[in-house]
Structures are given as C-alpha cells and as structure tokens.
Chains A and B, each alone.
Chain A
C-alpha cells in the first residue's frame, strides 16, 4: 500500500504550548485511520494543520507527494482533501439540497458573466451541481428531506448532511471530526454503515472519534495522541491493550470491560 498523505515532524505551538509536537504519520490509501486521544490532545489541530486552517510552526504535510503545508483550505479541498467540523457546520438557512449544491461549486468554472448572459457553461454547471447533489442525497439517505431547511432536520440528519457536503467536493481523503458526536447507539451504526459505504468508493478516511466501540469496529488502524504527541499506532486490538494508551486515555477499567 502507498501513503496518500504523509505528516512529517508536524508541530504547532500556541504561545509556549505545543498543541501538536513532531507528529510523523502516514495515511495509507484506502484505509480508515482513527485518531483518538483525550480532550486537548491536538486531534482537531491536526485536521486544521492538514487543511490549511492553521499553518504549522514546523514540519510538512504531503498529499499524494505534493507539499500542501502552506495551502489555504479551499486549495486543499480542490486537491481532494475534504473535512467536516466537530460542531456540525451547515448553511442552516438553506435547504438540504441547496447545501449540497453549493458544495459542488469548487468543481465548476462558471463566473459572473456566464450567469449574466446564461451561457451554456452556466446551465451545464448548474445541471452538474444538481446531479451531484442528488446522487449524494441518495447516498446519505436524505431524499425525503431535500427541500427542508437544514435547521429544521434532526441532529442525526444534520450530521449526515455535513458528511454529504464534504463528499460532494469529490475528495480522495475525507477528514471526519467526531461524526458520531451526540448520536444514539442506533444512529451510530447507521453512520458507520455510511462511512463504510464511502470507503468502498475508494475514499480514504481519517476519523476523530471518542466512542471506542465505533473506533474498534470500523478502523483499520488507530493512532493515539496525548499532549500533541503520538503515543501509539497500530491495529485497534493492539492499541487498546497498550499500557500507555490505557493510562493516558482509556482508563484502567477499559481492559477489563
């Protein structure tokens, strides 16, 4: 297997505090890799460093052998790295379908003049947006809620929509920041099915998640962060029996349970 993304000595300081410290990581093409660790371990910071929301103090990010360390978020998205946010971010005043359609904007070229004189390109781009949005709508199972405002759909549907919007951008690597946050047991498994469906399409997934049951179930590999440093890496079973991981994150009770 080849690495789709490589983090090299990735470091980020906030004042004198290191949020991420000399993190080396290879994400293999096609895998589901989970990033776990206690609150404040720097998981979301890693996402922000990858996407260009934050610029690292030191170190580099390579995506498909290209240095993307200093690219802006919209540029990394254009290259094929999409993300969702920990606090479900949507365009709440727009309908579900509109949320998905605007997410395809980055794959279209039409501009102001195209809109003004309604060129072929304008109509064609509009059509492609709708087509893509409808395809993803089906994948995330929200067809019946297509014309509802994003604000007025249940929390679980909002979480699915957020994943759907990231998928509309046609990513090769998908970063999911706690996609199961606040979901019930039942909803967890349907979200897991969705994530597995996405992986079957050949999309690599980097996942931040606190629910260990989900992580153990879905991940090919797990990476554990603590105080911005990698303390363990490997298959789920191996990591969960690692003494350092148990001390830092899982707690003594975990191994017994």
Chain B
C-alpha cells in the first residue's frame, strides 16, 4: 500500500471512529467498543517486544495489572488525581519491566517465555495474598473514574458519558500508535528488528542486544501499564484476575490473528476477537474452543495473520 492511500485510509477509519458514539446508542455495544480500545492498547504494546523485537514475553497480564493496581492504590489511598496516577501506573509497570527484564533477558526463546510466565504467576499470587495492601481476592472497589480536565474560562471537560469515555480511550489508543510508530520507524526500532532478525549478527554490528531488548521491554510494559490504568478507572474495580497470565495469552491470540509485527494487525485482531463473539451471541463457554479452532487454521494457512496475508497478496499482485 502506498503512503497516500494509507494516510487516507487512516483518516477514513478515524472519522468512522469519531462518529461511532453518535450512531451507537446501545450501552452494551459501546462498552464492548471501549473495552476493545483498551485491549488494543495493551496488545499493541505487547507487539513491540513480541512482534518487532522477537522476544516471546508472556507476562503482559502482570504488567497490565501492575499498572492498574499501582494507579488504583495511589488514587484510593493517596487521593492522587487520575491524570497523575496514569503516568505513575505506566512508570511502575515500566520499572517492573526493567527489574524482570534484567535477569529474564539473559535467557532466550522458550526459556524467556517460560520465565516471564512464571513471573506473571508470582505477581498474581502476591496481589492475591497481600490483603493488607491489595484487599486480596475481594479486590479493590470504588476506584475513581476519569477525572475531569479543567479548562480556563470555559469550565472543564468531563468524562461522565460513555461517548466521552470512548473518546478518551480513543485518544490514548492514538497516542500509543503514535509512540510506537515513531519508535519503530527510527533507528531505535531498526535495532529492535535487527535483534529479531539475527541477534548474533546484530551484536557483531555493534548493537548491544541486552540493552536494546531491555528498552523495548520497558516501553512495552509501560504502555501495557497505561492500558491497565485506563481499565481500572473505566471499570472501577480490580481483582487479582486482572493480572492473570491468561490475559497475556489473550493478547497473544489477538496479535497472531491480526498479524504479528505489523502496526494495524494487533488492532484488527483485538477488534475481531473482542467484538465478534458478542455480536454473534456465542456463549462464553465455547469461546476458547472457537479461538482454538480459528488459531489452528490461522497458523496453518495464514501464519502471519490477517495483515501478513494481505501483504503477501499485494506483493504477489505487484510481482
């Protein structure tokens, strides 16, 4: 796809996204859209370390949850404003990315995957057992919502309606895309992809692999944490379930279906998998079963997901 077509397509999608809250008045559907916006942020974040840097990180549920809990606790216990809690939550998640990345990134491939997954299980256990701080399995209730933004003279922007909450999430989704695009298209992103392509060669060319992977992991975790904060304030409730490692597997599925290592793939994957079952009224019991079948077929016939298959198609047309 050439850049002009891509730009217009992006604008068209943006216009549709802006109009959507005016068209859909059903609260249930709006809720699904807002949730898929939040999941898309976290999935995009995972794609940076997984798709662009080639490290199978399976602790994204933990980083999402750490960001959410860090913000929720500071809002509840220290009365921190949402707009301060948001960067704080992201920073704490990023910091944990650093802490866990230092030992875990010494391992490669499936060892790294298993190591990060174990870390996730430990995080969930700690949050579940540390009742004094986290209220354990009863969870945190009454987490403050999105705080209004005061504007001089005109008053303030509030986020009481679903439409406003939708726009807020949309803004952060666009911010995430912006940050990732800038990163990936820069030399920093080039070095990430070099590590994915051939780590030994990258090191021989003077790219420090551990430091580079660590940077990718920290950015990825901080953005996941930001998604967690949005979730906490939107839903108003958190329990250890929101840090579960199975969340990370959900994000992984969204990425695999949408297209690993592409910018739009994770968003498409998230939208499809989050909205479709609800739209089709499929009972939740069968959801994992259906995911499984879809995944098997995808991996056999479209190993690079929907976006990968589209790319192949357009390449074939050109040559």
Cβ contact within 8 Å between A74 and B187 = no
Cβ contact within 8 Å between B187 and A125 = yes
CB neighbors of B among A198-237 (8 A): none
Residues of B within 8 A of A107 (CB): 206
- The CA-CA distance from A114 to B179 in the complex, in Å, is 12
- The DSSP consensus for interface residues of chain B is helix
Q: How large is the interface on B (under 10, 10 to 19, 20 to 34, 35 or more residues)?
A: 20 to 34
- The CA-CA distance from A114 to B190 in the complex, in Å, is 14
Q: Which of these binds chain B: A18-26, A29-37, A82-90?
A: A82-90
A89, A105, A165: the one contacting B200 at CB < 8 Å is: A89
Cβ contact within 8 Å between B188 and A110 = yes
Q: How large is the interface on A (under 10, 10 to 19, 20 to 34, 35 or more residues)?
A: 35 or more
B186, B201, B209: the one contacting A91 at CB < 8 Å is: B201
Q: Which of these binds chain A: B118-126, B191-199, B277-285, B286-294?
A: B191-199
| Chain A residue at minimal CB-CB distance from B215 | A112
Cβ contact within 8 Å between A105 and B205 = yes
Residues of B within 8 A of A83 (CB): 204
A238 to chain B, nearest CB (A): 33
CB neighbors of B among A88-119 (8 A): 89-94, 98, 101-103, 105-108, 110-112, 114-116, 118
Cβ contact within 8 Å between B204 and A115 = no
Residues of B within 8 A of A105 (CB): 187, 190-191, 194, 205-207
Cβ contact within 8 Å between A115 and B188 = yes
Whether A115 contacts B207 in the complex (CB less than 8 A), given A89-B201, A91-B201, comes out as no
- At the interface, yes or no: B183 with Cβ under 8 Å from chain A? yes
B98 to chain A, nearest CB (A): 13
B179, B183, B197: the one contacting A94 at CB < 8 Å is: B197
Cβ contact within 8 Å between B179 and A74 = no
Residues of B within 8 A of A72 (CB): 203, 208
- The DSSP consensus for interface residues of chain A is helix
Q: Which of B187, B189, B193, B204 has the largest number of chain A CB atoms within 10 A?
A: B204
Cβ contact within 8 Å between A115 and B203 = no
- At the interface, yes or no: A153 with Cβ under 8 Å from chain B? no
- At the interface, yes or no: B182 with Cβ under 8 Å from chain A? yes
The 9 closest A-B pairs by CB, nearest first: A106-B206, A115-B186, A77-B206, A91-B197, A73-B203, A89-B201, A102-B190, A74-B208, A103-B205
Instruction: List the interface of chain A (C-beta within 8 A of B).
Output: 51, 53, 72-74, 77-78, 82-83, 85, 89-94, 98, 101-103, 105-108, 110-112, 114-116, 118, 122, 125-126, 129, 165-166, 168-169
Residue contacts A-B, CB under 8 angstroms, 18 given: A51-B204, A53-B203, A73-B200, A77-B203, A82-B205, A91-B201, A94-B193, A102-B190, A102-B193, A102-B205, A103-B206, A105-B190, A110-B188, A112-B188, A112-B219, A115-B183, A126-B187, A166-B205
